[in-house]
Structure 1
Amino acid sequence: MAEAHQAVAFQFTITPEGIDLQLSYQALNQIYLSGVRSWKKRVSRVRNSLIKGVYPASPSSWLFVAIGILATMYMQSDPSMGLITKIQQHLPIEGMGQTMVSALVFSTLLWLSLILALRFCLKLLLSYHQWMFEKHGRMSNTTKVWVPLVRLLSSRKPLLYSYQSSLPHLPVPAIQDTVSRYLESVRPLLTDPEFKRMSDLANEFESNLGNRLQRYLKLKALWATNYVSDWWEEYVYLRSRGPIMVNSNYYGMDFLYVTPTSVQAARAGNTITALLLYRRKVNREELKPSRVPGTVIPLCAAQCERMFNTTRTPGVETDVLQHWLDSEFVAVYHRGRYFRLWVYRAGRLLSPREIEDQIQRILDDASPPLPGEEKLGALTAGDRIPWAQMRKQYFSSGVNKRSLDIIERAAFFVTLDDEEQGMRGDDPEGNLDRYAKSLLHGKCYDRWFDKSFSVVIYKNGKSGLNAEHSWADAPTVAHLWEYTLATDAFQLGYTEDGHCKGDVEPSLPQPQRLVWNIPAEAQVSSSLAVAQALADDVDCHVFPFREFGKGRIKKCRVSPDAFIQISLQLAYYRDRGGFCLTYEASMTRLFREGRTETVRSCSNESSTCVHIHPHSTAECRRLFQLASERHQNLYRMAMTGAGIDRHLFCLYVVSKYLGVESPFLKEVLSEPWRLSTSQTPVQQMNLFDLKNHPDFISLGGGFGPVADDGYGVSYIIVGEDMVNFHVSSKYSCSQTVSNHLVLAIAEIFVDFSMAVSAFSNPMEMCISGQHTLN
């Protein structure tokens, strides 16, 4: 009861002598300081809205325009060509003040017009993408003019969202272009009769129903900010009724070789602090906008908006993403109990040492879980409809609703895991695999898979995270995790005995234990059984390839990403004896609210290269060069809005709204991606001093297989000498074994590096190939 009394700012009782009023000045002071923090954030948001609202100009530029207009009027010249006089006629004041006010009004209108003109020019410049398709060292005259103009209009220091209104909209490709590219992409996968049948379906669609669907899609593109993103989020993610654990959520790992501290509470303290510092930068828009590496071209930052204080809530037909502007606490899970941990005190962020102390209190709490509490998180791991029904029936009122609200409104979720993980012991490879599986699904009930992300801190100090996919894609989460790892290890640091730095305020209240009243009939066993069966079926293998990396590949004059993708084609061919539809994720964040597009990596060129290897080294070199160039071009097209799959997906959605069937679209959208791949980008190498601290290498992250009989392959190119692979498949499919594919990848890496290292004519790589795919 003591904690409850401390939370009350005042109490009053009515007695025969009158009203007895008791004030808690400490509590009132806390309320006041929290209000000050809230108002500071509001003022900051208003200021930032003004700054980014006039970008690429600055608010102070209005003063220069006004002074210029007044100066010309003082010289008895009318720069407005009579507009100032017309404004004077509509002002209620007279005399000198009338002239001054009319001049200021005209200055403001002129200033706003200049801002709109500058923004329009910047939007036109950012709509130019031909620079990506030019050969290295052969820049066209148009691009030579374009580069300094972009630099000029981007010279002011932007806020995180300054470029949003200047980013172009994603264009709708011509339907005949998409159909022809699709047919070209499936040619190596089909026999001649199969390709003939698919060509007939495609041509019939293009000449009839396709044009009708295209008109509706173009109408949406004129109205919507992005014609793909809302439907992609809704129908691919939120309307999925199966488990999001494994099937949708993905994970990120800690450093490979080092653990900054073995003290679990200390690692949690620094990690939580680093995440909240990142949130502060997002709220204040102090983060630099992400750019195409090596260029000044900005990328859309819209995905950052829902990074924190966000949860996915279940529904019977579709889920909903809920986002709150602020949250002063995080939700913590430990040994079947849920806690609310306040991370602000009197309007200030707790120090890492104070958060460590609070976490240690949770670790030392020996109280048992309440009935039904321990495995409650399994509801977020199983099918969505039972979770939606359970939530409505048992969590819509009373203490259950209040406790659930705390979890869902928390800045993020933290699991204090009682296991040890990492590359350790006598079986480092097996332990890495178990580490990956732990982050992907855990025990199926000790993560809250609906939160935007859940941080996991293990007993030995190792860390990681599990991210929900609907609100953002992996590069956004990777940027956050890079900052967290670097800030934890190099900025915040630890004392010699492994504890966080800083002082502890002795009067901090205890973490609040969440209270539940879960009836006996409200069982989570069915959701847990579904999730457990899914988790047990996942075969994860993590493989750090250390023989060489980006440095050696570039010496071969080959794009590292193209090298890896062609190697994956050959690895799959050796593993399964054929080719398959291959998915590589590419971003479309050159456009406003852009997310991803598919690069269909299995091409005619790559399959031909695979067939010839290793029979003729000279011919293999030539074909590898052609395949690499083809892959680079496919990647550029996907980035610039000329991809295949998002366009066909949206046409399919339109057909469903219109109630018409398309055999072509139905078949295209049902094709399985048996090889689903993604590169985890390293975006902030400046945060990591690999020269002086070479052991602080990130492992990247991974995801589950997309198809029941396929592989999920994630890879991260770390520094110059390492590539880390995360391969997943399902034990239930006898044809897929993650370890077998990894062994094939390692063998082919060496084979291909030897085969292509002697190119007589260095391949001409595009600007984007050198910078965006490394």
Structure 2
Amino acid sequence: MTLLAAKRVFISQKPAHSVTKKRVLTHFFCSKSTKAANDNYEYIQQSRVPTMHFQPSLPRLPIPKLDDTCRRYLNALKPLLKDDEMQRTQAIVEKFQKTDGVALQTELQHLDEVNKHTSYIRKPWFDMYLEDRRPLPINYNPFLVFSPESSEQYNKQLVKATNLVVSSMRFLKSLRANLLEPEVFHLNPKKSDTQFFRTFTRLLPSSVSWYGAYLMNAYPLDMSQYANLFNSTRIPMIGKDEIEMDKSAKHIVVMRNGYFYAFDVIKPDGNIVPPIEIAQNLQHILNDHRPKTDIPVGILTTAERNHWATTRRHILGIGNKKILHKIDSSAFVLILDDEPVGTDELQLLRRYLHGEADNRWFDKSFSLIVTKDGFAGLNFEHAWGDGVAVLRYFQDIKKDISEKPRFHPEDEKKLSGGSSSVESLNFKVDDITCGIIAKEKKKYDQWTKNLDVGFLMYEGFGKKECKDFGVSPDAVMQLAFQLAFFKQEARSVAAYESCSTAAFKHGRTETLRPCTVQTNNLCSIMAKGTSDVSLQKIKKMIIDCSNAHTTLTKEAAMGQGFDRHLFVLRKMADGSGKKIDLFEDPAYGIINHNILSTSTLSSPVVLAGGFGPVVNDGFGIGYMIQDRRLGAVVTSYRDKRSAKEYVDSLEESFKDIHKVLLSR
């Protein structure tokens, strides 16, 4: 199924909004009191359990035992190294366990002991992002695309953009008022995702509330990243960028045709600006008939970070301080694209991954992007946070614009066509700035033309069937990624799967290493064909792969992977100027050269999502697992690998695995 076909499925799933009935009921119940009406508009949620109720009692991210990390590291290397390479690396690791590793582990434990307010990974992981000098788009910023609204009228650019802004502000206000429902992973939702759970945990002091949830087999997640969703930006600096936030700002910035506009979305009294006024402002911007700017300042956010930092200093110096502060402090950037996507699904993916950058500002915590023909999604900067926070925001506002749209197609008739509250932000530029913009635009165009993008939606095989077969759906996906590559090159390569450690205070992510001895053995058989081996034996091997993957998943989610531990130990060694054999060993470079970099944010409201390859000769694979279908967005650089050819191989792999699992 193509993305455009998927859009038609979403739209045909139910009839057009029963808007009139919903509005009548809403007005009936809200008319009981002005306060009820105001609260109903001002907040997306009014949770009885405060948003940050569990935060003080969250458990701390554990530091794995050194011996466990070394064992897991060697196991992950087995399918990647030859026998002689493995023997050499094993000797290096054994020496590390007895000498340098012990000293580094002791130092890390001491640092962790004196910093009990946070996790051992938080600062070095922030620094990793902020110190990298590579451009943000493709290299770091991921994207997500919303599934469309069930009524085409609600997919109109002005209608959708207005509702997205309103719902975003409702989310922001709920978050800051401590009224947003805390993020909790319910192991058995029928027993714990209940009103009793909420009442019980709310009555517990915050200092012990996590333990009360734990007793009910529910696990509150860290929400420290959520603050940086809004009014936040990444500032380019020489050597290391900074994250800045200004909660006092009450406006958003809108980009269209490379021009910048701003208007308030929060009134001086703290209430959200009415939908009709927000729509009026957006219509005013859409009625600006200037052609695309030939000096797109936004292109500068695609530059190498030191170069952008130097350029930013220059444009600050020629009189752009107020404009840059306006952009930096805005709640978020709303991007209105004039070009429709049409029927080109790959163009849709490219639009959200990188766009032409004339109409982008990649430094913001996130940008909402709405196309002329009604697609919507976001592109987000990754240093400040991970997928858990972004997906929560994404799902909540999608639900809000679908179930409680505050601006309706018929409301367009009420717009007057003019607005005095939109501020045009006009950069002052000189010859130096224009020259830099022209060079960066040319460079960016060449870069993105070299990017290959592929998309696959495999129908009739998904989460439900995998569970019927007794295998993990995620394990099946990861096996398919390995098999697809093995079919092409007859070898296993380093693979990276992101796993959240948000179950711990200030947790970020851990790496799950899906390339295992089990997947390597299975791929070597399946890539040759299955005629020499019984389908039942292969089926048993798939189950073994799934079991191994499930163990790795549990370990990673509980902070018991090896990647982050070794990463921090290496950073400490680098800080002291000491060279450590383990980190100088080619094997460490091999496993960290992630040719298959994968991540998923599966949700019924996500039409597609993805990111760029993390190494020049690799694939970036954003994937989704739904009840009856499996999907992947694949990126690569054309001069190194073909995303299209990999997608073809991936489809064959899905078929092969599905065929084996169906066998009796």
Shorter-normalised TM range: 0.7 to 0.9
Aligned counterparts, 1:352-501, within 5 A? 352-367=275-290, 374-396=295-317, 398=319, 400-421=320-341, 424-425=342-343, 431-492=344-405, 495=408, 498=409
Q: Does 1:277 align with 2:131?
A: no
Residue in 1 that maps onto 2:655:
750
- The SS at the match of 2:154 is coil
- The SS at the match of 1:355 is helix
Q: 2:579 aligns with which of 647, 651, 661?
A: 661
- The SS at the match of 1:602 is coil
CA deviations over 1:261-304 (Å, ceiling 9, x no partner)? 35322221111111111111211222222222434211111111
Q: Structure 1: any 5+ residue segments left out of the alignment?
A: 1-39, 45-155, 426-430, 686-696, 760-774
Residue in 1 that maps onto 2:243:
321
Which letter does structure 2 place at the counterpart of 1:644? F
CA deviations over 1:628-675 (Å, ceiling 9, x no partner)? 000000010011111010000000010011110013123425631000
Residue in 2 that maps onto 1:644:
562
Instruction: Work out the CA distance in 2 between the residues paired with 1:665 and 1:418.
Output: 49
Residue in 2 that maps onto 1:344:
266
CA deviations over 1:123-154 (Å, ceiling 9, x no partner)? xxxxxxxxxxxxxxxxxxxxxxxxxxxxxxxx
CA deviations over 1:73-111 (Å, ceiling 9, x no partner)? xxxxxxxxxxxxxxxxxxxxxxxxxxxxxxxxxxxxxxx
Greater Rg by CA: 1
Residue in 2 that maps onto 1:174:
65
Deviation at 1:350, TM superposition (A): 2.2
Further displaced range: 655-664 or 244-253: 655-664
Q: Does 1:597 align with 2:510?
A: yes
Q: 2:103 aligns with which of 184, 207, 212?
A: 212
Deviation at 1:419, TM superposition (A): 0.8
CA contact (8 A) 1:699 1:716 kept: no
Aligned counterparts, 1:695-734, within 5 A? 698-718=606-626, 720-733=627-640
CA contact (8 A) 2:246 2:329 kept: yes
Which letter does structure 1 place at the counterpart of 2:310? Q
Q: 2:141 aligns with which of 244, 249, 267?
A: 249
- Aligned-pair RMSD on alpha carbons? 2.5
Deviation at 1:196, TM superposition (A): 1.1
CA deviations over 1:392-425 (Å, ceiling 9, x no partner)? 1221473x1101110001000111111112xx54
Residue in 1 that maps onto 2:4:
none
CA 1:747–1:499: 2 relative to 1, 3 Å = farther
Which letter does structure 2 place at the counterpart of 1:254? F
Which letter does structure 1 place at the counterpart of 2:655? V
Which letter does structure 2 place at the counterpart of 1:333? M
CA 1:507–1:263: 2 relative to 1, 3 Å = closer
Higher RCO (CA-CA < 8 Å; seq separation 6+): 2
CA 1:257–1:509: 2 relative to 1, 3 Å = closer
CA deviations over 1:183-207 (Å, ceiling 9, x no partner)? 1111011111111111122122222
Instruction: Work out the CA distance in 2 between the residues paired with 1:208 and 1:286.
Output: 51
Deviation at 1:338, TM superposition (A): 0.8
CA deviations over 1:420-466 (Å, ceiling 9, x no partner)? 12xx54xxxxx111111111111123110000001111111211111
Which letter does structure 2 place at the counterpart of 1:280? K
Residue in 1 that maps onto 2:52:
161
Q: 1:547 aligns with which of 454, 460, 467?
A: 460
Deviation at 1:537, TM superposition (A): 1.6
Query: Could you tell me the TM-score, scaled by structure 2's length?
Result: 0.83
Which letter does structure 1 place at the counterpart of 2:162? G
- The SS at the match of 1:188 is coil
Identity of aligned residues (%): 28
Residue in 1 that maps onto 2:211:
none
CA contact (8 A) 1:649 1:669 kept: no
Q: Does 1:292 align with 2:157?
A: no
Residue in 2 that maps onto 1:309:
231
Instruction: Work out the CA distance in 2 between the residues paired with 1:315 and 1:603.
Output: 40
Q: 1:515 aligns with which of 421, 426, 431?
A: 426
Aligned counterparts, 1:118-133, within 5 A? none
CA contact (8 A) 2:130 2:383 kept: yes
- The SS at the match of 2:109 is helix
CA deviations over 1:733-752 (Å, ceiling 9, x no partner)? 1xx21122222222222221
CA contact (8 A) 2:167 2:397 kept: yes
Q: Does 1:633 align with 2:551?
A: yes
CA contact (8 A) 1:353 1:502 kept: no
CA contact (8 A) 2:535 2:663 kept: no
Instruction: Work out the CA distance in 2 between the residues paired with 1:579 and 1:355.
Output: 53
CA 1:553–1:709: 2 relative to 1, 3 Å = same
CA contact (8 A) 1:569 1:579 kept: yes
- The SS at the match of 2:362 is coil
CA contact (8 A) 1:351 1:503 kept: no
How many residues were matched structurally?
580
Instruction: Work out the CA distance in 1 between the residues paired with 2:329 and 2:223.
Output: 22
Deviation at 1:255, TM superposition (A): 1.5
Instruction: Work out the CA distance in 2 between the residues paired with 1:310 and 1:706.
Output: 25
- The SS at the match of 2:401 is helix
Deviation at 1:563, TM superposition (A): 1.3
Which letter does structure 1 place at the counterpart of 2:120? Y
Which letter does structure 2 place at the counterpart of 1:377? G
Aligned counterparts, 1:254-273, within 5 A? 254-255=146-147, 259=152, 261-273=154-166
Query: Could you tell me the TM-score, scaled by structure 1's length?
Result: 0.71
CA 1:266–1:515: 2 relative to 1, 3 Å = same
Deviation at 1:157, TM superposition (A): 4.8
Deviation at 1:534, TM superposition (A): 2.3
Instruction: Work out the CA distance in 2 between the residues paired with 1:254 and 1:230.
Output: 32
CA contact (8 A) 1:352 1:501 kept: no
Deviation at 1:321, TM superposition (A): 0.3
Residue in 2 that maps onto 1:193:
84
CA 1:260–1:234: 2 relative to 1, 3 Å = farther
Instruction: Work out the CA distance in 1 between the residues paired with 2:589 and 2:140.
Output: 18
- The SS at the match of 1:475 is helix
Q: 1:529 aligns with which of 442, 455, 458?
A: 442
Instruction: Work out the CA distance in 2 between the residues paired with 1:598 and 1:243.
Output: 23
Instruction: Work out the CA distance in 2 between the residues paired with 1:291 and 1:263.
Output: 34
Instruction: Work out the CA distance in 2 between the residues paired with 1:669 and 1:228.
Output: 20
- The SS at the match of 2:524 is helix
Q: Structure 2: any 5+ residue segments left out of the alignment?
A: 1-37, 189-217
- The SS at the match of 1:650 is helix
